[in-house]
Amino acid sequence: MSQEEIFKRGVKYFRDDKLDDALKMLDKALLSGNEDKRMLDTRAAILEKMGILSEALKSCKKVIDIAPSSWQGYARAARIFLKLKKPDSSLKMVDLALERMPTDPNGQTRRAEMEQTRSDAQKLARKLHKRSYFDFLPVEILHTIFNSLASLSTYEAIRQGAVCRRWRDILCGMPSLWNALVLKPKTPQKKIEVWMQRSRGALKSLSVREGFAFGARPQIHRYFPIGMWERLEELDIGCYEHMESLEEVLPQGAMSRLQLGKLSIRNEDGRLTQRMLSESRAFWGLVEHSCSGNLQSLVFHGDGQATLPLHYVGACTALRELDIASNGIRPTKMFQILSQNPLLETLALWEFHPAPIPPTEEPSEVELNHLKVCKFDALNSDVHLYLSRIRAPNLTSLSFDKIHRNHRFMSSLAQLSFPQLEEFKLTFSKMDSTTKILSFLKNSPLLRRLTYTACFPADVNEFVDGLSSPSPSDLVCPLLEDLDLSANPFLRGHTIMRLTKSRLKKNGEGDETCSLMRLDVTACESLEPSTLPWLRSRIKKVVSRVVKEKSRPSYGGGSYTFV
């Protein structure tokens, strides 16, 4: 087979889009005879279509070397340079191609194509040469800007670092990006070394997990200068079974220097024992004397075996967050702590085993004007005291979980009024009636998010009907946008449809829209099949996830695992 025949077969493969076979034929044709500009140009076209641009450019160069007065090599090189985002080289090739193109009518189409390539290359050049305003700023000002970004959050800093390499270099060199460290028994020493070098020893947050203790890793002490502990703002301790006391978590001499703003002690493996807390007198004493004036956040998540020593916490006067899950939380002591912290913004209490209240102990009222978020979990015997004796006019979020048939709780709730309340949650509780809950909701005109989950044996349909009204002026919670009714297996479709209809309103074009933006009816087994499509046609987001029922408590509710 002659060179010309091989070449024609390669051209046929190329037209049939069999690029691999076409390239093999062109290579075979070039090896079987002298190099021809037609064959080299066709080979460049095949490589260009295959996306192998660097090899295609080499074939174009050979075309130009063989036939420097021909326009074909320059024209294809111009297009390839444009694809490689090299506009200056592309413009040069365009000029050389136009100089060699014929001016007769047959060449006008090709000249128009080259002019379009010139226009595209000029647009690309303007885009690439356009400089950001940040490019004109000195690095000192950039450092200040990115330091401010990194101080907002680590995630924001990393997101901004994706803009360009210069931003990443500045961000990675900023100590504020490395001011939080998590230590575990298997944390590599090299990671600790790099972290402390980049933070320049200015850690703000330290998390100790899975029973890590500095005493077991003496080789890393040199990375933690003694002056660092005075600047540490947050300490998060995860307690494990083998820990003797909280003092062993930090190196010797560190405890006495702490001036913490946030302290978290969490149970990680169900072994936070009372003995461990009792053996930690030195730790609690330092919290009482060294951190009491600075401590703004205290989180203690124990288990059913441990009680937080509240008498040490009594010295704190600057708390803004208090989150306690403990045995025997005595209301009188807790109210004393609350009265000493008038700037408190978040209060969360979870009691495993309630402490008996002596008849003579009745806590006095406390006013918390800054309190925004309040959560109560399993405070069955004491919750009415907190409701009736805490004055929080600016409360925006109120949550109750696992409240079991507490009539005093219901009576206290019905008498409350929080004019700024935007979120209310009542979950997995025993309720005989919903009347008093609805009375409370009527006094919350700004409520936007409502959760009513697995509350039995009260009738959920009665509760939902209470939220409905034929008259817009009589609606309970008229601004309600997010309603969570999940894990209510007796909820009926016609009830929720009636609620939706009561909250429909006409827009300017005469169409009806629902003020409810989100509705969660997961694990509502009694809903009719036609209900969900009807709801989804009127409510922006309707959630109904698949669940697996694990158990059914004796009071007729359900315990569900969300899949």
Instruction: Please state which of the ranges 270-284, 317-331, 338-352, 382-396 shows the lowest mean pLDDT.
Output: 270-284
Checking if the pLDDT of 100 tops 50, the result is yes
Q: Is 560 exposed, middle or buried (0-12, 13-18, 19+ CB in 10 A)?
A: buried
Residue 125 and residue 144 in one domain = no
Identify whether the C-beta of residue 223 lies closer than 8 Å to the C-beta of residue 192: yes
Which pLDDT band holds residue 200 (cuts at 50, 70, 90)?
confident
What is the pLDDT, as a whole number, of residue 383?
A: 82
Checking if the pLDDT of 360 tops 80, the result is no
What is the pLDDT, as a whole number, of residue 551?
A: 45
Checking if the pLDDT of 197 tops 90, the result is no
Checking if the pLDDT of 505 tops 70, the result is yes
Residue type, 45: A
Last-in-domain residue among 129, 162, 193: 129
Q: Element (H or E) spanning 266, and its range?
A: strand 262-267
Instruction: Please state which of the ranges 113-117, 323-327, 524-528 shows the lowest mean pLDDT.
Output: 323-327
Q: What are phi and psi of 366, to 5 degrees?
A: -135, 140
Residue 124 and residue 138 in one domain = no
Residue 113 and residue 155 in one domain = no
C-alpha–C-alpha distance, residues 454 and 180, integer Å: 39
Checking if the pLDDT of 381 tops 70, the result is no
- Residues contacting 35, CB < 8 A, separation 6+: 62, 66
Checking if the pLDDT of 354 tops 70, the result is no
Residue 312 lies in a domain: no
**For residue 457, cis peptide bond before it (omega within 30 degrees of 0):** yes
What is the pLDDT, as a whole number, of residue 559?
A: 42
Q: Is 130 exposed, middle or buried (0-12, 13-18, 19+ CB in 10 A)?
A: exposed
DSSP string covering 418-477: -TT--EEEEES-EES-SHHHHHHHHT-TT--EEEEES-EES-HHHHHHHT--SSGGG-SS
Higher pLDDT, 556 or 486: 486
For the record, the structure tokens of 359 come out as 């008849």
Checking if the pLDDT of 258 tops 50, the result is yes
Strand partners, 180: 205
Checking if the pLDDT of 126 tops 70, the result is yes
Q: What is the pLDDT of residues 26-73, one digit of tens each?
A: 888 888 777 788 888 898 999 988 888 888 999 899 989 888 888 888
Residue 120 and residue 141 in one domain = no
For the record, the structure tokens of 496 come out as 């929720």
Residue 457 lies in a domain: yes
Residue 142 and residue 124 in one domain = no
Residue 562 and residue 413 in one domain = yes
Taking residues 171-190, report their average pLDDT: 84
Residue 108 and residue 12 in one domain = yes
Residue 485 and residue 518 in one domain = yes
Residue 109 and residue 144 in one domain = no
Last-in-domain residue among 161, 178, 195: 178
Unique residue bearing structure tokens 């409810």: 516
Checking if the pLDDT of 359 tops 60, the result is no
Taking residues 166-179, report their average pLDDT: 76
Taking residues 533-548, report their average pLDDT: 86
Identify whether the C-beta of residue 98 lies closer than 8 Å to the C-beta of residue 114: yes
Residue 415 and residue 476 in one domain = yes
CATH number of the domain that residue 58 is part of: 1.25.40.10
Taking residues 389-407, report their average pLDDT: 87
- As a dihedral over the C-alpha atoms of residue 286, residue 291, residue 295, residue 297, rounded to 10 degrees, the angle is -20
Residue type, 465: D
Which pLDDT band holds residue 93 (cuts at 50, 70, 90)?
very high
Which pLDDT band holds residue 367 (cuts at 50, 70, 90)?
very high
Q: CA of 477: how far to CAs of 415, 469, 494, in Å?
A: 17, 11, 20
Residue 490 and residue 406 in one domain = yes
Residue 9 and residue 55 in one domain = yes
Q: Which of 90-104, 289-303, 307-321 has the highest mean pLDDT?
A: 90-104
CATH number of the domain that residue 425 is part of: 3.80.10
Residue 99 lies in a domain: yes
What is the pLDDT, as a whole number, of residue 560?
A: 40
Checking if the pLDDT of 345 tops 90, the result is yes
Residue 471 lies in a domain: yes
Which pLDDT band holds residue 7 (cuts at 50, 70, 90)?
confident
Higher pLDDT, 551 or 364: 364
What is the pLDDT, as a whole number, of residue 357?
A: 58
What is the pLDDT, as a whole number, of residue 375?
A: 94
Please, where are the H alpha helices in 101-163? 105-129, 139-152, 154-161
Please give the residue range of the domain that contains residue 474: 396-563
Domain count, the chain: 3
What is the pLDDT, as a whole number, of residue 555?
A: 38
Residue type, 556: G
Whole-model pTM? Answer: 0.67
Query: How high does pLDDT run on average in the chain?
Result: 82
